[in-house]
Amino acid sequence: MGIGDNGRVTPTSATAEAVQALLRNAPQSEAQLEQLARDAQTLPIVELVYLVETRPDTEAAILFRVLHKDTALAVFESLPAPHQAELISGLRTRQVADIIGELDPDDRASLFDELPASVAERLMHGLDAGERAMTTTVLGYPRDSIGRYMSPEVLTLRPTWTVGKALAHVRTHAEEPETIYLLPVVDETRVLIGVLGLRRLLSADESLLVGDLAHEAIHAHATDDRENVTRRFFNAKLLAMPIVDSEGRLVGVLTVDDAVDILEQETTEDTARTAGSEPLPRAYLSTSILGIVRSRVVWLLVLAISAILTVQVLEIFEDRLDQVVVLALFIPLLTGTGGNTGNQAATTVTRALAVGEVRVRDLPRVVWRELRVGLTLGSVMGSLGFLVAGLVYGWAIGAVMGLTLLSICMMAAIVGGLMPLVAKKIGADPAVFSNPFISTFCDATGLIIYFTIATAVLGL
Amino acid sequence: MGIGDNGRVTPTSATAEAVQALLRNAPQSEAQLEQLARDAQTLPIVELVYLVETRPDTEAAILFRVLHKDTALAVFESLPAPHQAELISGLRTRQVADIIGELDPDDRASLFDELPASVAERLMHGLDAGERAMTTTVLGYPRDSIGRYMSPEVLTLRPTWTVGKALAHVRTHAEEPETIYLLPVVDETRVLIGVLGLRRLLSADESLLVGDLAHEAIHAHATDDRENVTRRFFNAKLLAMPIVDSEGRLVGVLTVDDAVDILEQETTEDTARTAGSEPLPRAYLSTSILGIVRSRVVWLLVLAISAILTVQVLEIFEDRLDQVVVLALFIPLLTGTGGNTGNQAATTVTRALAVGEVRVRDLPRVVWRELRVGLTLGSVMGSLGFLVAGLVYGWAIGAVMGLTLLSICMMAAIVGGLMPLVAKKIGADPAVFSNPFISTFCDATGLIIYFTIATAVLGL
């Protein structure tokens, strides 16, 4: 490192030149970015500042983005204000978003540290929804994390302010932020101390201190899963929720309209998955035919391939079918009833999981309940099956039908109740074991039950 | 009618006595209430006032409740304040709520006029959620109407107030109402003129007039369907929505937490119905086993009885089955695929209807789309079915499988897309033609297609 003619520090070390070379080649692969991050981290702050100031906007933004959080903050604070603005606009370019967005989410999380809250706030300032989505990629929040949905413009109060001063502040800035009805209270380093509702502020004595009125905030971390955060949001009947980074610094606020959007999207996803299809990327009538086909064909194939199991089960019992062809008549009715019972149970439990009424640790209770429900349903269906089939096809067939319906209802209710919990336990979406999947499973199992009982009762 | 010793008007006419007799017998049936309403309407205001003042609370409340809106208002305004309070507390008793609640909703709507807004407001004042549910019955709002969910405590502004006066008013009353973030502006007869957001009020010049700042209100009528109102609520990204009676008078406000509750209930209902069961009255783990059975058994029976159709279809083709028993092997796979395709289509269209992306008049477009989607899916499934079944069981069986899968996918996609729209068109819940119902329908139709094609191709 040496001092140049103009008295500024210029990078002369081999590392600084390696960093410059890497930047010039527009690093895109994970390996290149990792190398850049490693090299950059060994440079002194002053050299990093120089590089950020002198490289073109996109290169400066990429370099800045691979710095660790503390280093990034130090660099940012050393930059003169106009260069801070340039850096922010560089971070907002689509090129930078694309480079970061193309990485695997896990790699991205390990490579990119959080941005300092002050930088994040300025980066997100005044963006519309589309730009914001792009920019949250730069911030490194994973897909489906709440950081992607928060509004960065927040009106904050300081604990040392009087109610009078706080009210004047709110009245001056009322039109700017996304919401003024919940006011986060932060210290001088933006760490969230609490919140104060506008209603409380309005009715309080003007001489009281904000810090004395504020109460603990129900908040979330920017990387938290959007579904869990939204659930907590609505359970607590909030109008807004402060979002913080890993150090407890305020980075944004989730407002109720964004929370409702998330809820609606989750419902649409769950509904589609429950019926064994993927949610459509856009409105039904404006999705192309091929887009609709794509949302359905994979699951349809998977299910049809699973259903080959039913063909194989029936092949095993083909000679019994050949002997008593009347057994074939009841196949759709029995598999249908099994599927219906399984789906009823699965839907109830999936919804109970979604609204937080049931947790994974309730698995034994759910199984015990579904066993009794299945037994009761099976008794009703079995008795009717015995009577109706017995009257029409003789009591031997009646007995086969009665026993089979009893067994299938019990099996299906337990399987249907169990599946969503198993999915949740292994970290998958409970809707992954969708209703058609449960139907197919119950079809195959039900056929085995049917022919086993038929073989025994009819003495085949 | 004559003047009694104390100078008060006492009812002496035959009608007044008939009314008194009816009241004493605690009218409960629709006929009795109708008779009471007819008789009461012929009495002069002054006699009605006398009756309301002198009869016990419950009788007075029932009498008051059968009066037409204008008469009720005149009577109420003629009552001295303590008697007004007594009447209100009479209207709030469970006995009155039960009498009114036991009537058929349609009869109730034709028999009970709306209560005047001023009475409704006082009736609803200071109630918790449970009491409110009971009291909305007295108000006569039908089940599932938004009137049942609104909060009656509203902070209102007058158009002639200055911003300064309005702000002082809000600050004084900030802790009382359900929300202060949306402020309805009403005239002296409580007719809704517009709304003013607190944010706008806070940032406006203190000398401006409320009437000049207020803008047109997105509002709903108390008798409007809760689902439609909630949809409009969220589409407009509101925090609160004023609710008015048929004369445009403010009777309450729907807040965002109530709207979210409705949305959640509707989703739970739709989800349960889609799987062919009724929503549980309470949380899954705290519902009794019999309660769960009750939510499922009716649909399960209906579906099983419908599935007898599949037995009958198979009976028609029993001799073909006897000739070529291998045909039986594919029954579960074929009916399963038909059901899956139908459910995918039905779920997509039902959800699109629920979020307002598709309307009933789009029926031809939906059918045309599903025809092409079904054709595409059927071509994929059919080609694979032809190849796999052909290789294993010979090309004749392969041809049967291929053609059947193609036809079943087309039929099921169209049926699945059509059903929710037909349900909506005839005024039923689109989820009534639930997925199991569609499966059962597709099962029977699919079997006819299957054996017709098999008969033709195999020359049976």
Q: Please report the pLDDT score of residue B126 as a whole number.
A: 64
Contacts 24+ apart (CB under 8 A), A68-71: A68/A41, A68/A113, A69/A113, A69/A114, A69/A115, A69/A116, A71/A41, A71/A45
A454 touches chain B (CB under 8 A): no
Within 8 A of A347 by CB-CB distance, chain B residues are 271-272, 274-275, 277
CA distance A4 to A16: 15
The owner of tokens 């990119």 is A112
Number of alpha carbons in the 13 Å side-chain half-sphere of residue A99: 26
Q: Please report the pLDDT score of residue A108 as a whole number.
A: 60
Q: Please report the pLDDT score of residue A452 as a whole number.
A: 95
Calculate ∠ Cα B51-B140-B59, nearest 5°: 20
Under an 8 A CB cutoff, do B357 and A284 touch?
A: yes
> Hey, what are B458's tokens?
């195999």
Kindly state the average pLDDT of the residues A226-255: 90
Kindly state the average pLDDT of the residues A8-33: 71
Under an 8 A CB cutoff, do A199 and B365 touch?
A: no
Where helices occur in B276-317 by DSSP H, the ranges are 289-316
Within 8 A of B200 by CB-CB distance, chain A residues are 174
Q: SS3 breakdown of chain B: % helix, strand, coil, rounded to 5? A: 65, 10, 25
How many helices, marked H, and strands, marked E, lie in chain A? 21, 7
Q: Please report the pLDDT score of residue A141 as a whole number.
A: 78
B31, B159, B303 from B211: Cα distances, Å: 48, 4, 59
CA distance B128 to B136: 12
Within 8 A of B335 by CB-CB distance, chain A residues are 332, 335-336
Report yes or no: A259 and A162 within 8 Å, Cβ to Cβ: no
Under an 8 A CB cutoff, do B351 and A272 touch?
A: yes
Q: State which amino acid sits at residue A375.
A: L
CA distance B259 to B237: 11
Within 8 A of B315 by CB-CB distance, chain A residues are 329
Interface of A with B in 349-388 (CB under 8 A): 349-352, 355, 357-358, 362, 365-366, 369, 372-373, 376-377, 380-381, 384-385, 388
Q: SS3 breakdown of chain A: % helix, strand, coil, rounded to 5? A: 65, 10, 25
Query: A284 to chain B, minimum CA–CA distance in Å?
Result: 7
Number of alpha carbons in the 13 Å side-chain half-sphere of residue A59: 18
- In terms of DSSP bridges, do strands B240-244 and B220-221 run parallel, antiparallel, or are they unpaired? parallel
Among A330, A335, A376, whose Cβ lies nearest the Cβ of B289? A376
- In terms of DSSP bridges, do strands A192-197 and A182-186 run parallel, antiparallel, or are they unpaired? antiparallel
> Hey, what are B238's tokens?
């509101």
For residue B199, give the chain A residue with the closest CA: A174
Report yes or no: B355 and B399 within 8 Å, Cβ to Cβ: no
CA distance B104 to B107: 5
Among B267, B347, B365, whose Cβ lies nearest the Cβ of A285? B365
Q: Please report the pLDDT score of residue A449 as a whole number.
A: 95
Q: Each residue of B35-49: pLDDT tens digit?
A: 888 888 888 888 888
Residue A5 confidence (pLDDT) above 60: no
User: CB under 8 Å to B240, separation ≥6 — which residues?
Assistant: B178, B179, B181, B182, B253, B254, B255, B256
Q: Please report the pLDDT score of residue A86 as a whole number.
A: 81
Measured in whole angstroms, the distance separating CA A323 from the mean position of its chain's CA atoms is 53
Query: A210 to chain B, minimum CA–CA distance in Å?
Result: 17
Complex ipTM over 0.90? no
Among A174, A293, A376, whose Cβ lies nearest the Cβ of B293? A376
CA distance A225 to A21: 38
Within 8 A of B198 by CB-CB distance, chain A residues are 181, 198
Calculate ∠ Cα B309-B313-B314, nearest 5°: 120
Report yes or no: A114 and A245 within 8 Å, Cβ to Cβ: yes
- Laid out side by side, the sheet with A240-244 consists of A220-221, A240-244, A250-255
Kindly state the average pLDDT of the residues A26-44: 81
User: CB under 8 Å to B358, separation ≥6 — which residues?
Assistant: A284, A285, B349, B352, B366, B421
pTM: 0.73
> Hey, what are A199's tokens?
């209603």
pLDDT band (50, 70, 90) for residue A405 = very high
Residue A387 confidence (pLDDT) above 50: yes
**Which residues does residue B157 pair with via DSSP β-bridges, in sequence order?**
B185
Question: Of B139 and A257, which is predicted with more confidence?
Answer: A257
Query: B162 to chain A, minimum CA–CA distance in Å?
Result: 16
Among A203, A307, A385, whose Cβ lies nearest the Cβ of B332? A307
Q: Each residue of A329-354: pLDDT tens digit?
A: 999 999 999 998 998 898 888 888 88
Among B237, B290, B310, whose Cβ lies nearest the Cβ of A333? B310
pLDDT band (50, 70, 90) for residue A6 = very low
Q: Please report the pLDDT score of residue A364 as a whole number.
A: 93
Within 8 A of A267 by CB-CB distance, chain B residues are 267, 351
> Hey, what are A381's tokens?
């269906």
Where helices occur in B128-283 by DSSP H, the ranges are 129-139, 163-173, 198-203, 210-213, 226-235, 256-274
pLDDT band (50, 70, 90) for residue A455 = very high
- Helix, strand, or coil (residue A9): strand
Under an 8 A CB cutoff, do A332 and B274 touch?
A: no
Residue A369 confidence (pLDDT) above 70: yes
B206 touches chain A (CB under 8 A): no
Under an 8 A CB cutoff, do B263 and A263 touch?
A: yes
A316 touches chain B (CB under 8 A): no
Under an 8 A CB cutoff, do B311 and A299 touch?
A: no
**Which residues does residue B255 pair with via DSSP β-bridges, in sequence order?**
B240
Q: Please report the pLDDT score of residue B2 as a whole number.
A: 41
A90, A125, A282 from A93: Cα distances, Å: 6, 14, 26
Query: B314 to chain A, minimum CA–CA distance in Å?
Result: 5
Residue A4 confidence (pLDDT) above 70: no
Q: Please report the pLDDT score of residue A102 as a whole number.
A: 66
**DSSP-assigned letter for residue A277:** -
Among A199, A333, A384, whose Cβ lies nearest the Cβ of B311? A333
For residue A440, give the chain B residue with the closest CA: B336
CA distance A302 to A2: 65
Which one, of A216, A204, A215, lies nearest residue A163 by Cα? A204
> Hey, what are B13's tokens?
């006419």
Mean pLDDT of successive 10-residue segments in chain B (460 residues)? 44 72 75 83 87 84 82 84 81 73 61 72 68 66 82 88 94 84 92 93 93 94 91 90 90 90 86 80 84 86 86 90 90 92 89 85 93 95 94 94 96 93 84 77 92 92
B445 touches chain A (CB under 8 A): no
b vs e for A67-105, b when ≥16 Cβ sit within 10 Å of the residue's Cβ? Answer: bebebbbbbbebbeeebbebbbebbbeeebbebbeebee
The owner of tokens 């970015």 is A33
Among A289, A322, A381, whose Cβ lies nearest the Cβ of B376? A289
Q: Please report the pLDDT score of residue B193 as a whole number.
A: 95
Under an 8 A CB cutoff, do B436 and A299 touch?
A: no
Q: What are phi and psi of B44, to 5 degrees?
A: -70, 155
Where helices occur in B25-104 by DSSP H, the ranges are 30-42, 45-54, 57-66, 69-78, 81-91, 94-101
Under an 8 A CB cutoff, do A436 and B331 touch?
A: no
Under an 8 A CB cutoff, do B311 and A329 touch?
A: yes
Under an 8 A CB cutoff, do B171 and A203 touch?
A: yes
Contacts 24+ apart (CB under 8 A), B267-271: B267/A267, B268/A351, B268/A355, B269/B431, B270/A271, B270/B350, B270/B354, B270/B429, B270/B431, B271/A270, B271/A271, B271/A274, B271/A347, B271/A350, B271/A351
Q: Each residue of B310-332: pLDDT tens digit?
A: 888 998 998 888 888 889 999 99
Of A30-39, A89-98, A107-116, B77-86, least confident by mean pLDDT is: A107-116
Estimate the crossing angle of helix B57-66 against helix B94-101, to 10 degrees.
40
Interface of A with B in 221-240 (CB under 8 A): 234, 237, 239
Stated as kind and residue range, the H or E segment containing B242 is strand B240-244
A343, A355, A367, A372, B278 from B294: Cα distances, Å: 16, 22, 18, 13, 8
Within 8 A of B310 by CB-CB distance, chain A residues are 332-333, 336
Question: Of A296 and A400, which is predicted with more confidence?
Answer: A400
Residue A130 confidence (pLDDT) above 70: no
